Structure 1
Amino acid sequence: MQQIRQRLSIIEMELRSELAALAPEWQALLLSDVIEQMASHDMCHHALYSKLVRLDAALCQLDIGLYGLCSDCEADIEAERLSADPTEQRCHHCDDQYNLQHRQELRLSH
């Protein structure tokens, strides 16, 4: 778990570097407060926002002992998915279903 926490810390430092260019005044805020600030400034569609939300979720899951479980079906997320992206929230099957549903929603909204 320590290795995972270190990887997540590195990701947080990288994302905070991106944040510095976007809103340097938010640098010292807690991750959850940064997310809240972005949401209140209508920045939910910014790529950094979704990365921060995923990171925050992964850190919370790690803290409560649920890291590595799919947020949809609660099955183990494949090790190779977590290795590629330690903030991954879904197993391969649920991620495919989510992406399919999201694409359909985008078509319906246009």
Structure 2
Amino acid sequence: MTDNSEFAAKLKSRLQDLLERAEVIEDDLRHPLDADWSEQAVDLADDEALEGIDEALRSEIRQIGYALKRIDNGTYGTCAKCGKDIGAQRLKARPIASRCINCAS
């Protein structure tokens, strides 16, 4: 079994950062709308952009969770499609990768 503790530590650190950022965004999205109609329009446009960012953060959070599960069950670094090893350089560049470069393209 390969020691993936360095990858796990990086993934957990990134996960914590994303969770904190998502919490800030969610807090901002919960604010009540301003009484002024023009301000409401600006707030709604801002909220739409924040929702898109939050969705992207949540997607990465899920992917990190999957990567940590693969580390726990010993399948991290193995392509989910072809079963071959995912290159170390690819994992360093994209630690959440579940497919080798050939299967990902």
User: Which bracket does the TM-score occupy, shorter chain normalised?
Assistant: 0.5 to 0.7
Which of 44, 66, 87 is the matching residue for 1:78? 87
One-letter code of the match for 2:66? A
Match of 1:7 in 2: 10
The separation in 2 between residues aligned to 1:7 and 1:46, in whole angstroms, is 22
Bigger radius of gyration, 1 or 2? 2
Following TM superposition, where does structure 1 have runs of at least 4 consecutive aligned residues deviating by more than 3 angstroms? none
**Identity rate, percent:** 30
Q: Which runs of 5+ in 1 are unaligned?
A: 25-42, 97-110
**Superposition deviation, residue 12 in structure 1:** 0.7
Are the counterparts in 1 of residues 22 and 58 from structure 2 also a CA contact under 8 Å? no
RMSD: 1.9
**Residues of 2 paired with 1:18 and 1:72: CA distance?**
32
String of CA shifts for 1:20-55, please: whole Å, max 9, x gaps. 12335xxxxxxxxxxxxxxxxxx8x92112211210
Structure 2, gaps ≥5 residues long: 28-51
TM-score (norm. length: structure 2) = 0.65
Instruction: Say which structure, 1 or 2, has more relative contact order (CA 8 Å, 6+ apart).
Output: 2
Alpha-carbon distance in 2 for matches of 1:51, 1:74:
23
Match of 1:69 in 2: 78
